[in-house]
Chain A
Amino acid sequence: MEVLSFLQSKPVLIGLHLGFAIVGIDAFFWLLGKIKDRNGSTKSRVVTAAVGTLAFVASWISGGYYYVIFYGSLVKPVIKQGLAPWAHNIVMEVKEHIFLFIIPMAVTIFFITLLHDDEIESFGIRRLALVLTALVIALGLLIGAMGFVISAAARWGAIS
């Protein structure tokens, strides 16, 4: 099988979407600890934020491709005709749109990590940077939980 067609297959896309999201969430968790405990160099914070941001971008592209090409024609009708149509009408609709908040937030945090530790201190933004990073993590986890609900609704929709 060609590499491209393998990457475009449904289970692989879902796996990439989830896998990259987990890497993104973990990277921002790691960054949260670095900002809070003031450990690590500026370079290590920049690299951690870059990994998290790129992982979220990769999750966005793989999940977006799956959503646009497969979800609407194959999964959405099953959910809508199943036991929990609200899983699409509410959960999926909210999930697909709040994902669009995450990338600019992650890029902004990446820019903040360009600051040296003494600059973060002198600008008085350590606490705000922590809250913003925690918010990206919370949104990532929320989107993950929403994905689980949508998958469960599709499974139950298929056998009901």
Chain B
Amino acid sequence: MNKTKLKLIIASVYATILNAIFVTVITVWAELSLPLKDWLKGFTGHHWTTKSIFSVLFFVLFTIIFFFILPARENNLRWALRCLIVVTILGVLALTLFFTGHHFTIW
């Protein structure tokens, strides 16, 4: 068994989970907080470009961190993959519900 590959996959899965949470939270937060959205715009000229760059940096940084701190356990990988699938679906649903509510001025 190759422990390095297992560690890399586990690190990547957890970083992907954090990325999905980060994108969802920063997007909703920026829609509700004009100063944050202006700050994101000011960083690169467009809020989406800033989120894209932060998203990539976030993923790379946490993949490296998790690679060195998380143990290479097979059951950890299975659990993390299940989490990733659930978090991704919840992220899509959360963004859809949020922007739908925002459009109809529910919030």
Alpha-carbon distance between A139 and B55 when the two chains are bound, in angstroms: 17
| A112 touching B92 in the complex, CB below 8 Å, given contacts A101-B23, A123-B78 | no
With a cutoff of 8 Å between Cβ atoms, the chain B residues found around residue A111 in the complex are 5, 8-9, 12
Asked whether A97 lies within 8 Å of B23 as measured between CB atoms, the reply is yes
Q: How far is the CB of A120 from chain B (nearest CB, A)?
A: 10
In the bound complex, what is the Cα–Cα distance between A31 and B55 (angstroms)? 25
Residues on A lying within 8 angstroms of B by beta carbon are 60, 64, 67-68, 72, 85-86, 89-90, 93-94, 96-98, 100-101, 103-105, 107-108, 111-112, 114-115, 119, 122-125, 128-129, 131-132, 135, 139, 142
Q: Residues of B with Cβ closer than 8 Å to A?
A: 1-2, 5-6, 8-9, 12-13, 15-16, 19-20, 23-24, 27, 45-46, 48-49, 51-52, 55-56, 59, 74, 77-78, 81-82, 84-85, 88-89, 91-92, 95-96, 99-100, 102-103
